[in-house]
């Protein structure tokens, strides 16, 4: 999985399943809404291990801190986080994008009011840092955000 759409549980080398696909979908959806990629851990290219720290820091910048229970239940998170939940000092100084939290970025592209609230909530369901709390595909299809979309096939499949 390309690092830019890699779910945290893969970086932690934890067990993973269908929630990684939902994470990837959330990354792609967000990339379509923003004028830039939400995560860009390989720019500039550095050693892979450091890029993992950069990627996790970018997740925190966009989505807020990892829930303590998520870190506690992860087999590999301790390689990246100190006991207090902060990114490990082993990472050295990590430059953040300065783009801000998800809601701020969505507002900067022109979303406001109910449209901002619904879009933010929908994306947060896909980009939950805890894979156990990430929405399933069926839950996303039944999300109020999707109510305005006609998802019926129109014409022959190719």
Which region, left, alpha or beta, applies to residue 19 given φ > 0 means left and ψ of -120 to 50 means alpha? alpha
Instruction: For helices 113-126 and 19-33, give the axis angle rounded to 10 degrees.
Output: 150
pLDDT for position 86: 83
Mean pLDDT of the chain: 88
Instruction: Give 20-41 pLDDT, tens digit per residue.
Output: 999 999 999 999 999 988 888 7
Average pLDDT value for residue range 45-61: 79
User: Domain segments of the chain: what residues?
Assistant: 3-139
CATH class of 3-139: mainly alpha
pTM of the shown model: 0.86
- What is the three-state SS of 67-102? CHHHHHHCCCHHHCECCCCCECHHHCCCCCCCCCCH
The string of pLDDT tens digits covering residues 134-143 is 999 999 999 9
| 113-121 CB contacts, 8 Å cutoff, 24+ apart | 118/144, 118/145, 119/33, 119/145, 121/145
Percent of the chain at pLDDT > 70 equals 91
Q: Which residue shows structure tokens 């303590």?
A: 68
Helices (H) and strands (E) in the chain, counts: 7, 0
Measured distance CA(86)–CA(84) in Å, rounded: 6
């Amino acid at each position: 999985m390309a690092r830019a759409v890699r779910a945290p549980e893969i970086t932690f080398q934890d067990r993973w399943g269908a929630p990684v696909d939902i994470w990837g979908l959330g990354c792609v959806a967000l990339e379509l809404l923003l004028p830039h990629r939400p995560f860009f851990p390989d720019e500039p290219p550095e050693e892979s291990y450091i890029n993992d720290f950069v990627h996790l820091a970018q997740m925190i910048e966009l989505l807020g801190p990892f829930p303590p229970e998520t870190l506690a239940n992860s087999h590999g998170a301790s390689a990246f986080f100190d006991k207090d939940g902060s990114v490990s000092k082993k990472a050295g100084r990590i430059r953040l994008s300065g783009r801000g939290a998800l809601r701020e970025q969505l507002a900067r592209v022109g979303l406001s009011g109910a449209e901002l609230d619904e879009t933010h909530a929908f994306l947060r369901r896909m980009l939950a840092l805890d894979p156990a709390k990430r929405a399933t595909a069926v839950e996303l299809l039944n999300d109020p955000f999707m109510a305005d979309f006609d998802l019926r096939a129109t014409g022959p499949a190719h």
